[in-house]
Amino acid sequence: MMKNETVVIAKNVIDLQIKALKKLKNAVDNNFLRAVNIISKCQSKIIICGVGKSGIIASKISATLSSVGTPSFTVSANDCSHGDLGRITKKDILVLISNSGNTVELKNIIKFANSSKIFLIGIMSNKNSALYKASNIKLKLPEVEESGYGIVPTSSTTSQLSIGDALAIAIMYKKQFSKFDFKKYHPLGSLGNKLKTAYDLMLVGDKIPFINENQTMKNAIKLINAKKLGFLVALNANGLTTGVFTDGDLKRLLRKKEKIDNLIIKDHMSKKPLKVEENMLAFEILHLMNKKKITNICVYNKENNHKTTGVLHIHNLLNNLK
């Protein structure tokens, strides 16, 4: 096979899947809305099952649902005929996926769901199928052209995956599942890093370089050297942040005056320092610090933006956002 022929084949496969997705987009109707509403209200598990390639798609949809706040697991159609039907309860919602809707391995599951009055959502493309007729909600997918002699499950599985993703994300918004909720389920990896907040990474307690705004420059220099962060957070008598004093401020002061030991911090500090709220995403803070060309920033709680609850150093951000 020539190189150009291979490229043509590849593009044809993709073209067929694009056509399938366009058909699917136009087919989304009230049944989809009903499925979103019923799954959003489910107080138990969403159990998903398919056979063959549809079974693999079922695993992906189940994993996505679980990751965005809707507990879900998959069951094997074959194992369901050998005892695993016992994993499905009346409080669960069962989602069966089959392109033909007549997959032999699903017949016992359909029969069990109907006799046990378990709510059944069917995803299929055949309106005359057993699955279509048995389902409480029928998510009928448009019939599509497959690649590979017209028989290899490609366009149909893309449609199944896409409708599953659409369900998961629509349910996520319906349940008001936030990016901070998402973060709880993704503590590691690149997703976990993207969702780290100021609260996750900030220095707290004794590590915050606090100093009373009425302290002398002599004491400030001792503290700035001891804390090794290159700045101090000035507080008033009420413990509220009134400014910051940086090593840059110190250098500029030394260029102007020879004797600085008895100078008072509040007379030479930056009185309107940049600060961020605890829930701000760390990568956004890093972008802000690079833009403003600063190496430290104060963090506050939304209940009081004048009280510093932590500090961030740019090196700390860089090391944790790799």
Cα(214)–Cα(228) distance, integer angstroms: 21
Out of 3.10.580.10, 3.40.50.300, 3.40.50.10420, 3.40.1800.10, the CATH code matching 198-320 is 3.10.580.10
Contact between 124 and 132 (Cβ < 8 Å): yes
- Residues 52-62: tens digit of each pLDDT: 999 999 999 99
Cα(35)–Cα(57) distance, integer angstroms: 18
Contact between 72 and 62 (Cβ < 8 Å): yes
**Domain locations in the chain as residue ranges:** 3-177, 198-320
Q: Is 228 helix (H, G, I), strand (E, B) or coil?
A: coil
Has residue 2 got a pLDDT over 70? no
Contact between 161 and 56 (Cβ < 8 Å): no
b/e per residue 177-194 (b: at least 16 CB within 10 A): beeeebbeeeeeeeeeeb
Local confidence band at 1 (pLDDT 50, 70, 90 cut-offs): low
- Residues 161-216: tens digit of each pLDDT: 999 999 999 999 999 998 878 877 777 767 777 788 999 999 999 999 999 999 99
Nearest CA to 133 among 94, 102, 89?
102
CATH architecture of 3-177: 3-Layer(aba) Sandwich (3.40)
Q: Is 274 helix (H, G, I), strand (E, B) or coil?
A: coil
- φ, ψ of residue 190 to 5 degrees: the values are -65, -35
The structure's pTM equals 0.76
